[in-house]
Structure 1
Amino acid sequence: MSKKKRIAELLKKYKHAWVFSYILLYVPWFLYLESQVTENYYVIHSWIDEKIPFVEYFIVPYLLWFVFIAVVFLYFFFTDVDGFYKLAKLSFIGMTIFLIISTLVPNGLELRPHFFARDNVFVDMVRMLYQADTPTNVFPSLHVFNSLAACIAIYNSETLQKHRVISGASYVLAGLIILATMFLKQHSIYDVIAAFVLAYALYQIVYVTEHKKVPKLERQKKSTVFSK
């Protein structure tokens, strides 16, 4: 097989890669918000946030979020095109809603500690996180939302449900990531709740509605066959 033909087959096989072009919309928009929303923003705060202690060790699952989301996306990209499209649809609609909310209602937090009670490598990692990530544009939490989106995709995958250890470990990691957003003072509990509400609403649209359509389509196919 010639190199040109091999490339053509790969392009045909992975033509769904076009979905990743969403990054061309998301990244510039998000960076614009990060540069513009620096003051006069709505401060998100709950008395519950004050009861949640700062725990630097949660930096580990918080950073593992990047690996978790990438692995889940790549798994579906290479093994389940339909599942990939649903995951991307759920994730990217939610991320776009996040961008719209942050544009219309600039928001941020005032939860980060001014000093740290301990000094260790985990605290150093948190300091680096704080320097790289502004405490603005937080509602709803994308760390939480995308973790839930990944779990929804895993839960709806017949293949992954056969591997209980993998799916179970994914749910545990997602749970730790969600907790990390609050224990690292990166998000208010309101951001977390909003992410759950958004994920649930989009799950109904992307997955539940689709599941209801499948039996209907099957009935239509059967009636067509019998009518012949």
Structure 2
Amino acid sequence: MKSTLKKYSHVWLLGYAFIYLPWFLYLEKTVTSNYHIMYIALDDLIPFNEFFIIPYLLWFLYVAGAVAYFFFTDVKSYYKLCTMLFTGMTISLLVCTVFPNGTDFRPLIDPSKNVFAKIVSYLYSADTCTNVFPSIHVYNSICVHLAVLRSERLSKYGILKISSFVLMVSICLATVFLKQHSAIDGFGSIAMAYIMYYFVYAGSYEPSRKKVSEKAIG
């Protein structure tokens, strides 16, 4: 038992859930009116498409799966991923706390249209249209893909990296095609991920550069 606890002592970092969830739920209950509407003209050019509910929901497996994988296989990458995820999520909550925000362009959904539309209607009823900037869905997806790209252990799995990229892009697109977010929410998340990347990964392992160096030496 002691050896197991020592081996997985890094589980303490997941205790962040006890900070994030109560804070998020508090905002969901309290930010119900008098919030800033997030909108840019690009939003009007993006049609609603219920089929994007598939990648939108895959986000949960994508993020949880990545955290679990690195938790058991690569503690260093696990710490980097969690640091980037949890810092950005905290910043997002802080932004929503001092700058209440939301959207107002969700379409009316006909649940009888198809199973995807029905799932979207459930999503709308369970998730409010507030606390959207910056988008956690977009930010966390970018964080996971960066962790995959920067992992030495996964550097030889080209198909995995391509699949991760496709899923990341699909999830980001899903946020706007489902009208869960304004495009500006996504742009804000991209900017935040860009900044956080240099704080978390600056000077750390880069598979492509390492291979180039090895070839040059050889």
**Normalized against structure 2, the TM-score is what?**
0.91
Show the 5 A alignment for 1:52-201. Answer: 52-116=46-110, 119-201=113-195
CA contact (8 A) 2:55 2:174 kept: yes
Question: CA offsets, 1:77-114, max 9 Å, x none?
Answer: 00000000000000000000001000000000012002
The whole-number CA distance in structure 2 between the counterparts of 1:34 and 1:167 is 34
CA contact (8 A) 2:111 2:121 kept: no
Moved over 2 A (4+): 114-118, 209-212
Deviates more, 1:109-118 or 1:124-133: 109-118
**Secondary structure at the residue paired with 2:202?**
helix
CA contact (8 A) 2:109 2:121 kept: no
Change (3 A) 1:117 1:74: closer
Give the gaps of 5 or more residues in structure 2.
Answer: 207-218
Show the 5 A alignment for 1:23-62. Answer: 23-62=17-56
Question: CA offsets, 1:49-90, max 9 Å, x none?
Answer: 011000000000100000110110001000000000000000
1:12 aligns with 2:3: no
Deviates more, 1:16-25 or 1:161-170: 161-170
Q: What CA RMSD, in Å, does the superposition of the two structures yield over aligned residues?
A: 1.5
**Bigger proportion of residues as helix:** 1
Give the gaps of 5 or more residues in structure 1.
Answer: 1-6, 213-228
**Secondary structure at the residue paired with 1:161?**
coil
Q: How many residues align?
A: 206
Name the aligned partner's letter for residue 185 of structure 2. Answer: D
**Secondary structure at the residue paired with 1:151?**
helix
**Secondary structure at the residue paired with 1:46?**
coil
Residue 225 of structure 1 corresponds to: none
Q: Which has the larger Rg? A: 1
Change (3 A) 1:139 1:29: same
The whole-number CA distance in structure 1 between the counterparts of 2:92 and 2:183 is 16
Identity of aligned residues (%): 48
Residue 3 of structure 1 corresponds to: none
Name the aligned partner's letter for residue 45 of structure 2. Answer: K
